[in-house]
Structure 1
Amino acid sequence: MRLLIVSGSQRTQSQSAKVAQYLVEKAKNYKEINHLELCRYNIPFWDGEQDSQLDPSSGWPLISQKVSRADALILITPEWGGMASPLLKNFLLMCDKQETAHKPALLVSVVSGISGAYPIAELRMNSLKNNKIVAVPDHLIIRNVKEVLNQCDKGDAQLTQREIHLRERIDYSLHMLHQYSAALQAIRIQHQSQPYPKQQEYSYGM
């Protein structure tokens, strides 16, 4: 199983990237784990035309390879103004169903305060229809993110009870994502070997 973790902050040295790195270290069931920090790539603004992906200056071909190779994704977004980041939404618009269809995704919202639910709701509602990514029922909201998931040399003795529960929740969510990854891999194989008649007529969500 191959996992791709996508951090969608438009800032380098972001809290989203910090959370992504923690998840890289905790996702032990996957034989291959990649972290894709979107702000470090030149991604064209989606204009509805496939040609924009092939611009010579675009970093999309490399990103497309990483997405296609993955069996599961983790999508991390900061909450900006109650919304998911424009960079992550642009990424999801750029994704083609051939790269992402029927692959499970764990949604993660990162926020400096105590909110964080709106980006999850937004991604579930209107970001996964045409690329056919399957958001798993569980999600993570990392609140007060500057205070948690930091390096702790003395182990759990320095952690608050809240952070211990958060880390346990992360372990559980990664475990469940791995199970969905195994189950949906079988569906993708069957989908290719036994396609539905006139399958191309239903390429996009309703």
Structure 2
Amino acid sequence: MKLLIVSSSQREGSQSAKVAQYLYDNNKDFNEVSHLELCRYALPFWDGESQTKSQDSSTWPFISQQVKQADALILITPEWGGMASPLLKNFLLMCDNQDTAHKPALLVSVVSGISGAYPIAELRMNALKNNKLVATPDHLIIRNVIEVLNAQAITSERDKSLRERIDYSTHMLHQYAKALFSIRQQHSATPFPKQQEYAYGM
């Protein structure tokens, strides 16, 4: 099983990338893990035209290949003004449902304070309709992120509890990845008649 971690702060060296690195380093279930820090790539602004993805400077073909090979995704967004990152939403608009459909996604919100719920609600409500990613029931909100998941030893009970919650959430993501893999195989082997008429959610 292959896991793709996507961190979507628009600034390099972000707390979102730190969380992604923690998830990468502490993976216990997936055989292969990769991390895409979106701000380090030339991602064109999606305008609805497929040729936009392959502009001369675009690194989308590489990113798309990473998405296609993944069996599960972790989508990490900072909370900016109560919203998910524009970079993540642009990424999700560009994803082809041929590469993402029926793959599980763990949603992670990162915030310097005590909020963080709004990006999760936003992503659940309107970010997964057409790419057909399947958000797992569990999600993670990393509050007061500067104080937790740092390289040094565990610093508080909250830090310890959060790490344990992450272990559980990623373990369950792996279970969903295995289950949905068989669904994708069946879907490919015995497609629903005229299934392309239903490529987009209602």
What TM-score, normalized to structure 1?
0.97
Q: CA deviation at 1:105?
A: 0.3
Counterpart for residue 85 of structure 1: 85
Say which SS state the counterpart of residue 189 (structure 1) adopts.
Answer: helix
CA distance in 2, matches of 1:32, 1:166: 23
1:202 alignment partner, one of 169, 190, 198? 198
Alignment map for 1:1-206 (pairs within 5 Å): 1-152=1-152, 155-156=153-154, 159-206=155-202
Structure 1 residue 26, shift from structure 2 partner: 1.5
Deviation at 1:151, TM superposition (A): 1.1
- Measure, in 1, the Cα distance between the counterparts of 2:195 and 2:89: 26
Distance in 2 (alpha carbons) for counterparts of 1:182 and 1:114 = 34
**Structure 1 vs Structure 2: percent identity of aligned residues?**
73
Deviation at 1:29, TM superposition (A): 1.3
Shift of 1:114: 0.1
- CA-CA distance at 1:196 after TM superposition: 0.4
**Count of residues paired in the alignment:** 202
Query: Deviation at 1:74?
Result: 0.1
Provide the secondary structure at the position in 2 that maps to 1:121: helix
Deviation, structure 1 residue 142: 0.1
1:188 corresponds to which letter in structure 2?
R
Q: Distance in 2 between matches of 1:141 and 1:116?
A: 6
Mapped to 2, the partners of 1:119 and 1:12 lie a distance apart of: 20
Q: 5+ unaligned residues in a row in structure 2: which ranges?
A: none
Paired AA for residue 70 in structure 1: A
Question: Residue 205 of structure 1 aligns to which amino acid in structure 2?
Answer: G
For 1:150 and 1:144, locate their aligned partners in 2 and report how far apart those are by CA, in whole Å.
Answer: 12
1:138 aligns to what SS in structure 2? Answer: coil
Aligned structure 1 segments of 4 or more residues deviating by more than 6 angstroms: none
Unaligned ranges ≥5, structure 1: none
Deviation, 1:30, is 1.0
> Cα deviation per residue 1:37-72 (whole Å; 9 max; x = unaligned)?
000000110101111001111010000000000000
In 1, the alpha carbon distance for the partners of 2:117 and 2:20 equals 18
Q: Distance in 2 between matches of 1:178 and 1:50?
A: 32
Cα distance between partner residues in 2 of 1:169 and 1:28: 13
Report SS of the residue matched to 1:19: helix
